[in-house]
Amino acid sequence: MILDLFKLDNKVALVTGAGRGLGQAMAIALAEAGADVAGLDVLPLDETAARVQALGRRFLPLSANLLEAHAEDMTKVIEQVVTGLGSLDILINNAGIIRRASVLEFSEKDWDDVMQINLKAVFLLSQAAGHVMVKQGKGKIINIASMLSFQGGIRVPSYTASKSGVAGITRLMANELAASGLNVNAIAPGYMATDNTAPLRADAERASSILDRIPAGRWGEPADLMGTVVFLASAASDYLNGAIVPVDGGWLTR
């Protein structure tokens, strides 16, 4: 039956930034589909853990400061998942930050911090997970891109650069790893009602201009990513490689 392809029974997923927002919603979606979940965050994971465990799935809380993470740190994270939950089948690179300032005033620190978490840590964690997945001949890596993987935006130079980079390394990893049984794809959320967009939603003029461009007529919610992440994590997407999937209420069509 076609719905069986979407089941994640006996799978193990690692979700970064799982403490709230998009990461929490995706962790819960994977658990609802049958997966056990490891959540990585510097924020408390108690709520996510309780909701995953209420579904009868295991939850492994992990803490790592991605702002200071190096390759050996990412390898340790993957080892903790495999030791704690028995395997690693799915990696969701969701953790990210944003800093806002005009291009002429943007600081070097804000450039480096965003690039470290949004791009370097994504690559290093995918690399560490890839070693495990190649050995087992299968695996799903799902990166979280952005509308700014397609567009330039304003006042977010490092975020735009990092999310453009996420789209690029998603395609590169798909090119290199598909033959080993891995699927590497990305989700590009549109304008979502999360902490990252709180300043935009608080600006009445900017919020109105954004909503006017979204054909769906509303901001996205974390739950809007749940179906897409289960699809990309499941056997239903086994012939999808290097795709950047917009979940944007139609933003890019305008």
Distance of CA 189 to the CA centre of its chain: 10
pLDDT, residue 30, reads 99
Q: What is the pLDDT along the chain (254 residues), one digit of tens a residue?
A: 999 999 999 999 999 999 999 999 999 999 999 999 999 999 999 999 999 999 999 999 999 999 999 999 999 999 999 999 999 999 999 999 999 999 999 999 999 999 999 999 999 999 999 999 999 999 999 999 999 999 999 999 999 999 999 999 999 999 999 999 999 999 999 999 988 888 889 989 989 999 999 999 999 999 999 999 999 999 999 999 999 999 999 999 99
> 94 near 17, Cβ under 8 Å?
yes
pLDDT, residue 127, reads 98
Percent of the residues in the chain that have a pLDDT greater than 90, as a whole number: 94
pLDDT, residue 197, reads 87
* Mean pLDDT across the chain: 97
> 27 near 233, Cβ under 8 Å?
no
pLDDT, residue 200, reads 87
Domains contained in the chain, CATH given: 2-193+222-247 (3.40.50.720)
Give me the residue label for tokens 């193990």.
12
Q: Which two tokens stand for residue 190?
A: 């549109």
* Phi–psi pair at 141, nearest 5 degrees: -115, 125
Give me the residue label for tokens 């799902």.
142
pLDDT, residue 120, reads 98
pTM: 0.97
Catalytic residue among 159, 191, 219, 231: 159
Alpha-carbon distance of 140 to 89, in angstroms, equals 6
Amino acid at 66: L
Strands 90-93 and 139-144: parallel
Does 239 qualify as catalytic in the annotation?
Answer: no
